[in-house]
Amino acid sequence: MSKLFSPLTMRNVTFKNRIVMSPMCMYSCNQQDGKLTDWHRVHYLSRAIGQIGLIIIESTAVTPQGRITPQDLGIWEDEQILSLQELVNNIHEYGSKVGIQISHAGRKSQVEEDILAPSPLSYDETRKTPIEMTHQQIEETVWAFQEAAIRANEAGFDVIEIHAAHGYLLNQFLSPISNKREDEYGGCRENRFKLLKEVITSVRQVWKKPLFIRISSNEYDPEGNQFEDYLWYSSEMKNLGVDLIDCSSGVVRPTQITAYPGYHLPYSHRIKQSIGIATSAVGYITEPEQAEIILKQDVADLIFIGRELLRNPYWVYHAAKVLGGNIEGPVQYERGWRL
């Protein structure tokens, strides 16, 4: 039996296969209100019809000033729950589970108002300088993540992924590149982890379903965290109740990354084997045979696919044909989907 098409259960949530649509920003909230549009509904439902096991909605801001761009999705107010709930219900109709990635962009935010960060250091010379967060603003951010988790639960999501990678706020606190604080949130590794620890703890208080964390396993910078640091962070996160580490990499500051198929696999493999926690495989995974080998060699537990699902919403059907997997396509497509 193909492992890619075997189910996986976490905290009583069962994914019908190991294929995950990776969260990818769509920048499509043209009203700048953080609410879903018709674009989002077509985009995500077509992948649910395509029989993906888990669809993770794009990076969704926990505060208005925490958006990457003004066109980002949001989950900072109750008025945003209804449309999210309708989307979740529609995705569930096709047997897919659905997650949401909650985030705060920190100094990488491109909104017009003041932006926040652990230290007043801009991302690059083209970006404005952020305001160093006060303790009150840190507390408000922790509360915002918890409130987002409550709203995600009300909307019916099956999974939450906390975005602590790619140089966004939580990654900024983790990294000595962007965190120059001299209080209890800066300095040593334990202090730099403090905000993420508080966010995870606050989310876990209100969220009983699977909890994923996306990390930048490699910061590609000698001044930044090294992989041994991320092993330590991963161990701490496991102890806090995190279920899966989503192993990505970059970009605390502008960096040239040499990407190739499976370039994150060494990180997911070592974290999985060393820490004993589930991990994802992500990064230019395009071929079914490649995904199958990753799972059978116990490198990771779930296969996160991004660009390939932008090119082909029905990649799962293609993979099932190649691997002999068992899928139940939509009734309306039976004539074309008989394997």
Contacts of 331 (CB under 8 A, 6+ apart): none
pLDDT tens readout for residues 173-195: 999 999 999 999 999 999 999 99
Question: Whole-angstrom Cα distance, residue 166 to residue 66?
Answer: 14
Sign of the C-alpha dihedral computed for residues 53, 156, 35 and 142 taken in this order:
negative
Average pLDDT, the chain: 96
Single-letter amino acid, residue 86: E
Regarding the domain delimited by 8-337, which CATH topology (the fold level of the hierarchy) does it fall under?
TIM Barrel (3.20.20)
Contacts of 280 (CB under 8 A, 6+ apart): 20, 212, 244, 245, 246, 247, 268, 300, 301, 302, 303, 304
pLDDT over 90 percentage in the chain: 93
Single-letter amino acid, residue 209: K
- Residue 197: helix, strand or coil by DSSP? helix
Backbone dihedral angles phi then psi of residue 259, each to the nearest 5 degrees: -100, 145
pLDDT over 70 percentage in the chain: 100
Q: Is the pLDDT of residue 170 over 80?
A: yes
Query: Quick one: how many helices (H) and strands (E) in the chain?
Result: 12, 13
DSSP 144-171: HHHHHHHHHHHHT-SEEEEEE-TTSHHH
pLDDT tens readout for residues 241-283: 999 999 999 999 998 888 999 999 999 999 999 999 999 999 9
Question: Whole-angstrom Cα distance, residue 9 to residue 28?
Answer: 32
Q: Is the pLDDT of residue 225 over 70?
A: yes
- pLDDT (mean) for 96-120: 97
Q: Is the pLDDT of residue 338 over 80?
A: no
pLDDT classification of 328: cutoffs 50, 70, 90:
confident
- Which pLDDT score is estimated for 255? 87
Q: Is the pLDDT of residue 134 over 90?
A: yes
- Which pLDDT score is estimated for 329? 80
- pLDDT (mean) for 312-333: 91
pLDDT classification of 339: cutoffs 50, 70, 90:
low
Domain residue ranges in the chain: 8-337
Angle, alpha carbons 127-25-291 (nearest 5°): 125
Note whether 297 and 325 are within 8 A (CB): no
Give the up-direction half-sphere exposure of residue 338: CA atoms within 13 A in the CB hemisphere: 2
Higher pLDDT, 317 or 256: 317
**pTM, whole model, 2 decimals?**
0.97
Higher pLDDT, 104 or 324: 104
